[in-house]
Amino acid sequence: MDFRVNSPLPSSAELPGKPSPVALLNRDHSILAFNARVLDWATRPEVPLLERLRYLCIVSSNLDEFFEVRAEPHLSASQAEDRKGLYTVETFESLSIIIHNLVDRQYALYNDELMPAFEKQGIKIVSHGERNQAQRRWVQQYFEREVRPLLIPVGLDPAHPFPQVANKSLNFIVRLSGEDAFGRENEIAIVKVPRVLPRLIPMPANLCGKRTLFVSLSSVIRSHLVELFPGREVGQFSQFRVTRHSDLEVDEDDVKNLRMALRQGLEHRHYGQAVRLEVSAGCSEFLSSFLLKQFNLPPGALYRVHGPVNLVRLNQLVDLVDAPSLLFSPYQGCYPRQLVPGQSIFERLKRGDVLIHQPFESFDGVLAFLREAVNDPQVLAIKQTIYRAGKDSELMDLLREAVRRGKEVTVVVELKARFDEEANINWAEMLESIGAQVVYGVVGLKTHAKMMLITRREGRQLKHYAHLSTGNYNSGTARLYTDLSHLTADAALTSDVEHIFVHLASQSRLPRLKRMWLAPLQLHRKLIEKINALAAAAQAGQPARIVAKMNALTDEALSFALIRAGQMGVRIDLIVRGACILPAQLPGVTDNIHVRSVIGRFLEHSRVFYFRTDEQEDLYLSSADWMNRNMMRRIELAWPVLDPALRQRIIDECLVPYLHDKLDAWELMSGGRYARIRAANPATAHGAQAALMSRYSALNSKRKT
């Protein structure tokens, strides 16, 4: 396929002598535009119905995180009536308009398309008004048995102030008339919905006929609210949910034990500053105003929703419905094609490096590498970084077994991996308790690099083997994210990995690295130098090319370096899944830069950076996106792929298909808007991920025969 590396380029004479000034795009708007692209998958009739619901839920989950992490400075600026600076009244209002529109589209899709489509399949969430007498009796019994014992309505008065409402918890607010048991007219009560209860409850088969019916927990409580307030009359009521700022902040320079400080901080995360209030569409002005005042929120932070106030919990429906035809066809990644099950990976690496393209090839190859190290008596030491391992992890069990077998195990655990802090703290404490050496990286920096180093005795020498990855050591996400794993015995690369582990553990000065670029020490500078070198070559009349694939591009210095290089004649293609602040295809400014985003069945997660000047090409893999935080506030790696065959394989699988995708790709237009790329004949168009699935399935079938 045409990689466009050798496509004709404008001569330097046709380009401006100086870089033209350009305003970068708004990062937060770009994040929300990404979520609009995800939502598009929920609208597609060709996508199986349960998968459409899943995409709808993903958007809601992403918006939750946006509010938890990104909304607070905009809200604070609005409340302070700031009109100058990065965060202002205007930025809050503009974001509010975009998000309200996105949420309205979500609920319109939920009510007008998805739920009617489920009903045609005999699947329905039955409201109180739709239940027959037998179903209502069953719901009554369920309420009395499972729900009511866990509910404690709180009537508000001076002795019973507004209760603490946890982040993203479901609650009811009720307006009562009449007097309470003490003759007082306290009219507001709050009912917290227990998080331990499922949000969707399947009805017994004998009450469903030939259908699959569910009731929502909120509907169960709503239909029995009156019973919670005997002697009072229930008037207005509404579900509500508050989202709070939840980006955990710890002053690392002022704590003696980071792990303990983070564990204490986690206890307070659920009660940070309120940033969003969701209520039912029919919530009265009286109750919504009361809640806004209680949470100190402006009207723009209020979201009236026509349906469940937490769409994320509808993910349960995907798990509860037994209908394979409403899901994607199962896909099982094949065993890595460069490896043979049962044969030594150490011996294989002596012949050359191994690349594993996940999820098209399975994570089992990485586990097999570690498993062989654990079981091999000649392996003396294992060093590994952990960023997101998950709550249940075979990999962590293998590390525990390595300690039991007497190997030296050093684990760099990142305690501040957002929303995985508790799981990582638990893993760190477990490993430490059995004798592993556990360190937490460098104060003030997150360790986001993914690397493993095995030290093995071979004769009189100690030999190093390494695993480097663009993704996490997590078996679950390895089935859902596209990533590249690189296994190597290359002496220069493994020596760099060894130096980095010593640097992280001892905080000693890092020797000069032979092959790798490490953030925050060199990575940012090296990337800019590389881009500038290509710009100089292009200006001198040499063909120059950059193709970079990443999750996000929000670093200003890198963006301006790319803009300058494009203006000097470098042909640039960026494959950026999420936020991108670089404006592409601006006439006379960024004509040479194209940005596309690919949203597919799997989450695009690999980072690949390709540079070419004339006949010299370099390709790097990395754990880092081109974001300021990755470059300046994290431990990140970028490393070269020197094997020509592996380098070409990465080009053929990770770059070329995505540049030619006419099914799942979106292009960033000159006005900052994304447009979906349409094939001339959609019936014959293939997405990059589908093509790779097909390719690896064919390889797997060939291997079996």
DSSP label at residue 292: H
pLDDT in tens, 218-236: 999 999 999 998 888 888 9
pLDDT in tens, 371-417: 999 999 999 999 999 877 666 678 889 999 999 999 999 988 876 54
Q: Which of 401, 381, 345 is nearest to 457 (CA)?
A: 381
Partners of residue 574 on adjacent β-strands: 548, 595
What's the rounded Cα separation, in Å, for the pair 546 and 612?
Answer: 6
Write out the H or E segment, with its range, that includes residue 375: helix 364-375
Q: Rounded to a whole number, what is the largest CA-CA distance in the chain? A: 89
Domain 345-515 in CATH 3.30.870.10? The answer is yes
- Give residue 586's region: left, alpha or beta (phi > 0; psi -120 to 50): beta
- Asked if 235 and 221 touch (Cβ cutoff 8 Å), the reply is no
Q: Return the CATH number of 12-26+519-704, one of 3.50.50.60, 1.10.3720.10, 3.90.380.10, 3.30.870.10.
A: 3.30.870.10
Domain 49-326 in CATH 3.30.360.10? The answer is no
- The reply to whether domains 12-26+519-704 and 345-515 share a CATH topology is yes
Enumerate residues 6+ apart whose C-beta is below 8 A from 698: none
| DSSP, residue by residue, 80-146 | TT--SSSS-HHHHHHHHHHHHHHHHHHHHHIIIIIHHHHHHTTEEE--GGG--HHHHHHHHHHIIII
For 161-189, give one letter per residue: b (16+ CB within 10 A) or e: eeeebbbbbbbbbbbbeeebeeeeebbbb
The pTM (predicted TM-score) of the whole model is 0.91
What's the rounded Cα separation, in Å, for the pair 185 and 179?
Answer: 5
| DSSP, residue by residue, 658-692 | HHS-SSSEEEE-TTS-EEE---SSGGG---HHHHH
| DSSP, residue by residue, 212-249 | EEEEEHHHHHHTTTGGGSTTSEEEEEEEEEEEE-----
3-state class of 430 per DSSP? helix
| DSSP, residue by residue, 18-47 | SPPP-PPPPHHHHHHHHHHHHHHHHH-TTS
Share of the chain above pLDDT 90, in %: 74
Q: Which of 673, 639, 680, 702 is nearest to 30 (CA)?
A: 673
What pLDDT, on a 0 to 100 scale, did the predictor assign at position 206?
Answer: 95
Domain ranges of the chain: 12-26+519-704, 49-326, 345-515
Other CB atoms within 10 Å distance of the CB of residue 206: 8
Enumerate residues 6+ apart whose C-beta is below 8 A from 300: 78, 92, 93, 96
What pLDDT, on a 0 to 100 scale, did the predictor assign at position 152?
Answer: 87
Residues in the chain: 705
pLDDT, mean of each 10-residue run, the chain (705 residues): 35 43 91 97 96 97 93 92 89 96 97 97 95 96 95 78 88 84 74 93 94 95 91 89 76 44 49 91 95 95 94 93 95 94 96 97 96 97 84 83 93 66 70 80 82 96 97 90 97 96 88 95 97 96 97 97 97 97 95 96 96 94 96 94 97 96 95 90 82 90 72
What pLDDT, on a 0 to 100 scale, did the predictor assign at position 14?
Answer: 38
Catalytic residues: 448
3-state class of 192 per DSSP? strand
pLDDT in tens, 469-514: 999 888 888 999 999 999 999 999 999 999 999 998 888 889 999 9
